Structure 1
Amino acid sequence: MTKLKNWKGVFYGIAYGLVSRAIFALEDFSNGSVNALLPTFGLMTISFMFLVPFATGLLAAYHHDTVTSSRKVASISMPVFAVAGLIGISVLSGKEGIICALMALPVFLFMSLLGGYIGVRIFKRNKGDLSVSLLVLLPFLFAPLENQFVLADKIFTEHTTIAIEANEQDVWNNITRVKEISEQENNYSFFQLMGFPRPIKAELDTVAVGGMRKAVFARGLFFTETVTQVELLKTLAFNIEADPASIPPQALDQHVMVGGTYFDVLEGKYEIEKISNHKIRLHLTSQFRLSTPFNFYTGVWSKILMKDIQQNILEIIRQRSEAQQSS
């Protein structure tokens, strides 16, 4: 029992995090209509992403400040275990996708450690129930204030390249119309392993401005693309449209839904740079929108995600083009 008691801060932290997540999630899944008595405005808020893990760390310190003494290793481990338990239970119960959990983890770890450190300092001087009660209410008190600020859209650009031992024609054929990609051809990238659907094919009705291109991914995900620029054997650019209502729920996590409130891919562009008669450099550039209260952070992850997707597509084009060159 003594050993179990030493972990009570972790259990309180996990319980607080799960209850807070359930309350904040009410508005995410009801368009804000259910949570009128305690408005939180969803999970993609500073109140949840930053203040809930901060309060989790405070609770870990409050319920076992002797264990979380700054002179002991447990001052780091207790808030970390609490956050790991919160995220682990959310993923295993199906309440959160792996991609979203991965993106949230660094913030949750940092803020919980900060909360634990500050909590040790506060509760060493004054360990009162009133003080901890006020501190754990911080996310809910801040949420209505945060909602007064309008989400700012920010446009990001991601550019990737690959060298291909092939001529322009073979590469051009492989970017204008991407034949079905088998599982053997697909290079399982990091975010695919985390749950992002793999690419299947891309169909284009005509290689001309105004042509319609359909990019198909696994689990029913697809994008409708309109060609905006064509320069034969050199450039193919297109606008990208995604209808969130047409995307199956199992295809993407809600908070990284393409065309949704927080994230959208806007444009794609292939450019062929000729190096020699049998070698080219293929460029793929995308533009995407983010609309979160912390674009500075989600932007980093979104660029990593887009780079991961684009590198996989370019590698498939390289393999196909070089195979055609040698045949």
Structure 2
Amino acid sequence: MKLKQYLGILTGALYGLLLRLFFDPSEDIEIFKYYSINSISFFWIVPIIISVIPLLIGRKEVLLSKWKTIVYPVLSQILFFIITLSQGIEDWLCILILAFPFILVAGLVGLLITPLLKKKYHNKLYSIIFLPLIFSPIESIIPNNTKTYDVESSIIIEKTKSEVWANLIEVPEILEDEYQKGFFNYIGVPRPIKSEIKTVNGKEYRIGYFSDDLELYESISNINYLENVSFDIHINDSKLRNTPTDHHILKSDYFTFQNIKYELIHLSENKTKLILSCKYSINSKMNIYANFWAEQIIGDFEERLLSSLKYKLED
């Protein structure tokens, strides 16, 4: 029956939604401290079960078709993404980060679990819906691995060191036509607008203004005139967006900005190499995967900012 097949797709997606809400509750309740969406349980075990549910419910109608055993789990994952995105539970950047493990698992489940279901082990497999709830508290006992990373980008600007330096501590406003938007900007990563030195509540900050009303508060940690300048980022003082990305990354204990640094190298009378680097730490059990996305996003941001500065200074 076709209705039963489609019900399996919907049930898998709703199961994912339920676990998504359970692993990131709005209330600070003691029991939920053992559950986190930034965990192996959520990233790898939950998508397995979302993928298995359409096969369990659809059973014969699905198992007799090889393409359905692969496509239906994927459809269940996609429906889960659509629901969480439409309800504001996730945004496009979060979906992108989730997509690789979720879709990969969906495809593998169809190939690996189908033989078990055909051997009539399906009744026993229903119990796996509780697996994330059991495994996550066990996972929480294992300490996270904290590691520091650094992403560096550079560009050559046809200006003297003093001319470049004059535009670093307080970056002049970058207009729309001076900034080349990229893929990450279109899915929610804000673009830089300007930075300025301001005194707020008796403290001097370098405030970086971004699109979507994001404001990052920074302080100068080290300065060597015409050579380099470093800034510490104060996330707790910054004005963040009310988005899933800012909540799960910038406000979390899993990702921490250490500092950003500009360095100038004299190449010739009117040619300067400008280097921008960002140091950050990741505290998780999936540092390799988390850092892959951090490198892509931060590296893209640095390159576009440097290109905008070059365009503005050389124009």
- Tell me if both proteins adopt one fold, taking TM over 0.5 as the criterion: yes
Q: Tell me the SS of whatever aligns to 1:233.
A: coil
- Matched with 2:28 is 31
Aligned: 1:286 with 2:285: no
CA 1:305–1:4: 2 relative to 1, 3 Å: same
Q: What's the offset of the Cα at 1:184?
A: 2.7
Is 1:231 aligned to residue 224 of structure 2? yes
Structure 1 segments unaligned to the other structure (5+ residues): none
Q: How far apart in 1 are the matches of 2:33 and 2:219?
A: 40
- In the alignment, which residue of structure 1 is the partner of 2:172? 179
The reply on whether 1:140 has 2:140 as its aligned counterpart is no
Match of 2:118 in 1: 124
> TM-score normalized by structure 1?
0.86
Q: Equivalents in 2 of 1:70, 1:280: separation in Å?
A: 66
Deviation at 1:42, TM superposition (A): 2.4
3-state SS, counterpart of residue 48 of structure 1 = helix
RMSD: 2.5
Q: CA deviation at 1:3?
A: 3.8
Equivalent position amino acid for 1:117 in 2: L
Counterpart of 2:183 (choices 190, 202, 206) is 190
For the residues of structure 1 that align with 2:207 and 2:179, how far apart are their CA atoms? 18
Identical counterparts, % of pairs: 25
Q: 1:251 to 1:58 in 2, by over 3 A?
A: closer
Which one of the candidate residues 251, 254, 258 is aligned to 2:247? 254
1:25-82 CA distance string (max 9 Å, x none)? 22xx22344xx3x775122221111101011122222223446559722332111111
User: 1-side partners of 2:61 and 2:272: how far apart?
Assistant: 61
Q: 1:223 to 1:115 in 2, by over 3 A?
A: same
Of 290, 295, 303, the match for 2:295: 303
Distance 1:244-1:137 versus aligned 2 partners, 3 A rule: farther
Residue of structure 1 in register with 2:107 after alignment: 113
Distance between the aligned counterparts of 1:158 and 1:223, measured in 2? 19
Question: Secondary structure of 2:145's match?
Answer: coil
| 2:168 partner SS | helix
Confirm or deny: 8 A CA contact 1:165 1:279 kept in the other structure: yes
Distance 1:46 1:70, change over 3 A: farther
- CA separation of 1:300 and 1:315: change in aligned 2, threshold 3 A: same
**Does residue 41 of structure 1 match 2:35?**
yes
Q: Which letter maps to 1:134?
A: S
Distance in 2 of aligned mates of 1:155 and 1:317: 27
Give the TM-score of the pair, scaled to structure 2. 0.89
Shift of 1:243: 0.9
Which of these residues, 68, 73, 93, is aligned with residue 67 of structure 2?
73
Whether the 8 Å CA contact 2:63–2:118 is kept in 1: the answer is: no
Kindly state the Cα deviation for residue 93 of structure 1 after the two structures are TM-superposed: 1.0
Change in Cα spacing, 1:245 to 1:168, as seen in structure 2 (3 Å) is closer
- Say if 1:316 and 1:271 are closer, same or farther in 2 by CA, change over 3 A: same
d(CA) in 1 for partners of 2:76, 2:34: 22
Which of the two has greater strand per residue? 2
1:54–1:149 distance in 2 versus 1, CA, 3 Å: same
State yes or no: 1:168 paired with 2:155.
no
Q: Structure 1 residues 225 and 128, CA, compared in 2 at 3 Å: closer, same or farther?
A: closer
Q: How does 1:260-279 map to 2 (within 5 A)?
A: 260-279=252-271
Q: Quickly say closer, same or farther: Cα 1:264–1:44, change in 2 above 3 A.
A: same
Between stretches 99-108 and 173-182, larger displacement belongs to 173-182
Q: Is the 8 A contact 1:241 1:266 kept in 2?
A: no
Equivalent residues, number? 312
Q: Counterparts of 2:226 and 2:234 in 1: how far apart (Å)?
A: 25
**Partners in 2 of 1:67 and 1:106 — Cα distance?**
28
**AA in 1 matched with 2:52:** L
**Matched residues in 2 for 1:303 and 1:211: separation?**
30
After TM superposition, the runs of 4+ consecutive aligned structure 1 residues lying more than 4 A away are 65-71
